[in-house]
């Protein structure tokens, strides 16, 4: 099946309110352009260098999402154009983004990444750390970042009960933070969860944004 058909197929299975971020990491520009011509305008990359290069080379109305771990010394390369940064896991990172966004004259939407997987290996905050971050004076004084919601990755497992439980946990974290910090702020609205293998469960559990790569572009050649 062609990329354009796979995009259509994925989209037809998503509620209209759920945004599709097509994860194009490791994939060449011609694959992205095929998706783009099929109407897909949001793409996700997990490496700053690849994101910056693809931004240079591809149409400027593409919305680029950084979905992977971000090092503070690399923020400056994407601050001028990135549409959303999905993986905020420290106040320090958020403050560097604020500084670079200010230089670029922008406000950058960011998602707090939560460690929801029961496995050990993934980056992310827990609820207590998120509360500390959102309560800090540094965050309150930041003018050029906007917390648009939360993001998480479930455990890579066939145990759908566990995956569902992890997504439900992220949704509940979202609700708690919404009530405590964003009750009157409609811009805190995104729950970024769901990948190729688990996006249907994520949508059932309240995802507003799915990040799908291999189902659209085919398997990647190397593990990223
Ligand atoms: C690679 C990646 C995805 C997409 O993974 P697929 O299984 O190919 O859909 C989604 N989110 C993040 C953070 C990723 O790194």
Beta strand 145-152 with 190-192: parallel, antiparallel or unpaired?
parallel
Q: What Cα–Cα distance (Å) separates residue 31 from each residue in 37, 156, 216? A: 10, 26, 10
Mean pLDDT of the chain: 96
pLDDT at 107: 98
pLDDT at 118: 81
pLDDT at 119: 76
CA nearest to 156, candidates 119, 124, 193:
119
pTM for this one?
A: 0.96
CA of 184 to the centre of ligand 1 (A): 32
In the predicted structure, residue 185 carries a pLDDT above the cut 90? yes
Residue 99 Cα to chain centre, angstroms: 21
For each of the domains in the chain, give its residue range(s) and CATH number, in order of start.
3-217 (3.20.20.10)
Check if the beta carbon of residue 142 is closer than 8 Å to that of residue 94. Answer: yes
* pLDDT tens digits along 72-118: 999 999 999 999 999 999 999 999 999 999 999 999 999 999 999 88
CA of 214 to the centre of ligand 1 (A): 8
* pLDDT tens digits along 23-80: 999 999 999 999 999 999 999 999 999 999 999 999 999 999 999 999 999 999 999 9
**Which residue has its alpha carbon closest to ligand 1 atom 10?**
211
Which three-class secondary structure state does DSSP give residue 39? Answer: coil
Q: Which residues form the pocket of ligand 1, taking CB atoms under 6 Å from any ligand atom? A: 23, 25, 46, 67-68, 153, 195-197, 211-214
CA nearest to 64, candidates 77, 80, 45, 88:
45
Q: Return d(Cα 174, Cα 143) in angstroms, integer.
A: 22
Residue 209: strand pairing partners: 19, 192
């Amino acid at each position: 099946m062609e990329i354009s058909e796979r995009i259509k197929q994925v989209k037809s299975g998503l509620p209209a309110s759920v945004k599709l971020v097509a994860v194009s990491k490791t994939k060449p520009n011609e694959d992205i352009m095929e998706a783009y011509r099929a109407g897909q305008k949001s793409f996700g990359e997990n490496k700053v260098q690849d994101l910056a290069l693809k931004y240079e080379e591809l149409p400027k109305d593409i919305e680029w999402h950084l979905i992977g771990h971000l090092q503070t010394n690399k923020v400056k390369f994407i601050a001028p154009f990135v549409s959303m940064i999905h993986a905020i896991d420290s106040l320090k990172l958020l403050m560097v983004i604020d500084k670079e966004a200010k230089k670029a004259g922008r406000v950058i939407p960011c998602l707090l990444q939560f460690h929801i997987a029961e496995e050990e290996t993934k980056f992310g905050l827990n609820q207590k750390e998120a509360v500390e971050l959102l309560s800090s004076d540094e965050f309150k004084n930041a003018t050029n970042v906007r917390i648009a919601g939360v993001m998480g990755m479930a455990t890579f497992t066939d145990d759908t009960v566990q995956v569902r439980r992890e997504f439900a946990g992220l949704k509940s974290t979202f609700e708690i933070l919404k009530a405590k910090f964003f009750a009157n702020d409609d811009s805190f609205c995104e729950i970024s969860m769901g990948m190729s293998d688990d996006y249907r469960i994520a949508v059932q559990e309240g995802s507003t944004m799915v990040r799908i790569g291999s189902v659209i572009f085919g398997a990647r050649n190397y593990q990223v």
